[in-house]
Structure 1
Amino acid sequence: MLLLVVLSTSLAKAQNEAYLDQDLKVESKTSAFKLGGTENSGWDFTKSVPEAKYSSKALEATLEENNWRDDLDRYYPRKGTQSFVNIYVGLNNYLQDGDLPSSDALFTLNPLTSWYAALNFDHATRILGPLYLDWGIGASIQDLSFENTRVEMIVDRTNKSVDFVERMDRVGKKSKINMMHLNVHLVPTFSFGKYNSFRIGAGVYAGYRISSHTKYKYDDLTGDSQKDKFKDSLYINPFKYGMRAQMGWSSFDLFFNYDISELFEEEANAPRLNPVTFGVIF
């Protein structure tokens, strides 16, 4: 019985292949087909099917001409300008006379809780050869969080001063300065390669302060949780400017900002501090 089944299957397969050989003919460049079954039906179609040709170089050139990529690489084009929407995440600190403030200073920051975040509309414009101009505009938020959580920042308008006072009558939880800026940057950048290329650059940036406030969280002597928030200019410079360095590969970049302008206005009686920020661009 098993032998009969095998023979029947082989015979059916052979007949099927013979049928296909007689009725189906495939050509590499031209195919013909009929609808209606007769020559007089009026439904006889014949068309030429061109060969499909694929060229990776041609596709790559098209992408470059349109200045876009179908992946997440930060693409520096061969010509023209490529645009990105970038997220900046980093940490803040500041320098006093070129050094970090001593641990005894009341305004010393905790760099791990002094964070920086920004949303930028950035662009890369080819200038010549491997030289590009990385430029953009965006908004940033900066937290300057004091290491000593008992410290309260006090603004004295009468004496035009900014003071830092350690409050021993409370248990501090968090004390910080918060600032928001609108920023622009111009960074000449060398990009070595095509897409997943190493790049490095240095340039300048500037910002305008759009808001600032202090926030002080603590427990009072009765153990109740309190929060003081003071919205004010805080004698913080309305404009800032500085030097910027960045380097990256593919869709990953590092940036470093150094404020040449001081944190507080020159006429204010306040510590002479220059903010610095280090972080990652996504």
Structure 2
Amino acid sequence: MRNLKIYLATLVCLFASKIYAQNSFENRTKEIASKIEAVVKSEKEKLKIQVEEINVQLSENKIGLDDADKKKKAFAEASAIAIEDQVAKLEEELHQIVQDKVDGKLKSVSKDSSASISIKFPKDFFEKKVNKGEKRTTSQFVFAFGANNLVTDKQVANSDFKYWKSHFYEWGFTSNTRILKEDNLLHFKYGMSLMYNNLRATDNRYFEKNGAQTNLVASSVHLDESRFRNVYIMVPMHLEFDFSKKEIREDTDYFKTHKSWRVGLGGYAGFRIKSKQIFCFDDNIGNSVDQKIKGNYNVNDFNYGLSTYIGYKETSLYLKYDLQPLFENNPVDQNNISLGIRFDFN
């Protein structure tokens, strides 16, 4: 009964904390992260059921192997499109949350502004619980955003793209494995991410494909919006130095992650899944026109680069640089560079 009362008191405290933080930047970001995770999980479950049904048909000789493979491929493509469509809507919500944060409409939850409640638990209260610190490998949902641009002639100065309106988004899942059994410093962090790199050209210009090259050209109409977007599936890998202290309880070592300063050094590699330009302008009769044009624009299909981050607990400053030039055959190499904030949610 005593433990039950403490548990109920804890729930009340957590509920009060949630009410306090529901409009914070961190809380709204986590909500979007949860929605994205739910979308991916739901579509994976649907695809799993569809594939199992095909395997049953195959085992009963109702369809041949070629037909089974074609059906599996079709279902997989349909599932990928469904995920992309739903995530695209959530991405717009993320963009608005980031904009609200920049405009000062959203505040972060700080220790000074939150109420502090201390609860003393009996020593045996958690005995039957599994401590996450015992796990050698943990998993995280990663979300990052920030400024995006191109390095031309080894510099970003005097760029052809707007510095604050060109941005990137990245979200994905990672696994974090402690390398040394009895030391918490070194970790190998790896996973899969979806990266969105956006560029907004200056001086009312847009990209135009001219044979094997892609050039910035001036528009004949005033463009309220001119955005060039490239989307990639990437496999990031980092060697992470986690300075979280180990805990010793009853002569047993417990290792926790993301509880102190962290530094990550590594890179990423993957492939492009789509490129498109987005235009907004007024036509000759006063109508507002939104136009999206998909194409490859001579963008390299394969991409790889270096990345690093340094931060405290779940929040880090994040830097990425593509070693692969953006365009295949342009006379001057231009490499994408991104600087922003990264969240690793356990």
Please give the range of the TM-score, normalised by the shorter of the 2 chains: 0.5 to 0.7
Q: 1:115 matched to which residue of 2? A: 167
Give the secondary structure class of the aligned counterpart of 1:112.
coil
Q: 1:4 matched to which residue of 2? A: none
Match of 1:190 among 218, 234, 241: 241
For residue 216 of structure 1, report the CA deviation from its aligned partner.
2.2
Q: 2:179 matched to which residue of 1? A: 127
For residue 59 of structure 1, report the CA deviation from its aligned partner.
8.0
Amino acid at match of 1:114: S
Match of 1:96 among 152, 155, 160: 152
Query: 1:174–1:216: 8 Å Cα contact kept in structure 2?
Result: yes
| 1:174 matches 2:225 | yes
State the alpha-carbon separation in 2 of the partners of residues 227 and 57 from structure 1. Answer: 56
For residue 269 of structure 1, report the CA deviation from its aligned partner.
3.2
Give the secondary structure class of the aligned counterpart of 1:229.
strand
State the alpha-carbon separation in 1 of the partners of residues 286 and 155 from structure 2. Answer: 38
State the alpha-carbon separation in 2 of the partners of residues 240 and 226 from structure 1. Answer: 33
Amino acid at match of 1:152: Y
Q: 1:273 matched to which residue of 2? A: 334
Match of 2:123 among 32, 51, 54: 54
Provide structure 2 residue ranges, at least 5 long, that are not aligned to the other structure.
1-120, 246-255
Q: 2:279 matched to which residue of 1? A: 216
1:55-112 CA-to-partner distances (Å, cap 9, x unmatched) read 69968983422x3xxxxxxxxxxxx111011222222111112101525xxxx11122
Give the secondary structure class of the aligned counterpart of 1:64.
helix
| 1:151 matches 2:205 | yes
Amino acid at match of 2:243: F
Instruction: Give the aligned CA root-mean-square deviation in angstroms.
Output: 2.4
State the alpha-carbon separation in 2 of the partners of residues 54 and 227 from structure 1. Answer: 62
Match of 2:320 among 248, 257, 264: 257
Task: Report sequence identity in percent.
Answer: 26
Which one has a larger percent strand, Structure 1 or Structure 2? 1
* Closer, same or farther: CA 56–200 of 1 in aligned 2, 3 Å: farther
Q: TM-score, normalised by structure 2?
A: 0.55
Amino acid at match of 2:156: L
State the alpha-carbon separation in 2 of the partners of residues 88 and 200 from structure 1. Answer: 16
State the alpha-carbon separation in 1 of the partners of residues 122 and 280 from structure 2. Answer: 68
1:174-233 CA-to-partner distances (Å, cap 9, x unmatched) read 112111110111110111123521111211111210011112222345544334422111
Provide structure 1 residue ranges, at least 5 long, that are not aligned to the other structure.
1-51, 68-79
For residue 258 of structure 1, report the CA deviation from its aligned partner.
0.6
State the alpha-carbon separation in 2 of the partners of residues 143 and 64 from structure 1. Answer: 38
For residue 242 of structure 1, report the CA deviation from its aligned partner.
0.7
Query: 2:176–2:190: 8 Å Cα contact kept in structure 1?
Result: yes
* Closer, same or farther: CA 254–56 of 1 in aligned 2, 3 Å: farther
* Closer, same or farther: CA 218–53 of 1 in aligned 2, 3 Å: closer
Query: 1:178–1:212: 8 Å Cα contact kept in structure 2?
Result: yes
192-201 vs 116-125, which deviates more?
192-201
* Closer, same or farther: CA 269–249 of 1 in aligned 2, 3 Å: closer
Query: 1:93–1:114: 8 Å Cα contact kept in structure 2?
Result: yes
Give the secondary structure class of the aligned counterpart of 2:262.
strand
Give the secondary structure class of the aligned counterpart of 2:179.
strand
Amino acid at match of 2:301: P
Alignment of 1:25-40 (within 5 A): none
Q: TM-score, normalised by structure 1?
A: 0.67
Query: 1:216–1:229: 8 Å Cα contact kept in structure 2?
Result: yes
1:222-258 CA-to-partner distances (Å, cap 9, x unmatched) read 5443344221111111011111101121121221101
Query: 2:153–2:332: 8 Å Cα contact kept in structure 1?
Result: no
Which one has a larger percent helix, Structure 1 or Structure 2? 2
Give the secondary structure class of the aligned counterpart of 1:90.
strand
For residue 145 of structure 1, report the CA deviation from its aligned partner.
1.1
Match of 2:137 among 81, 84, 97: 81
Query: 1:170–1:221: 8 Å Cα contact kept in structure 2?
Result: no
Amino acid at match of 1:90: G
Q: 1:162 matched to which residue of 2? A: 214
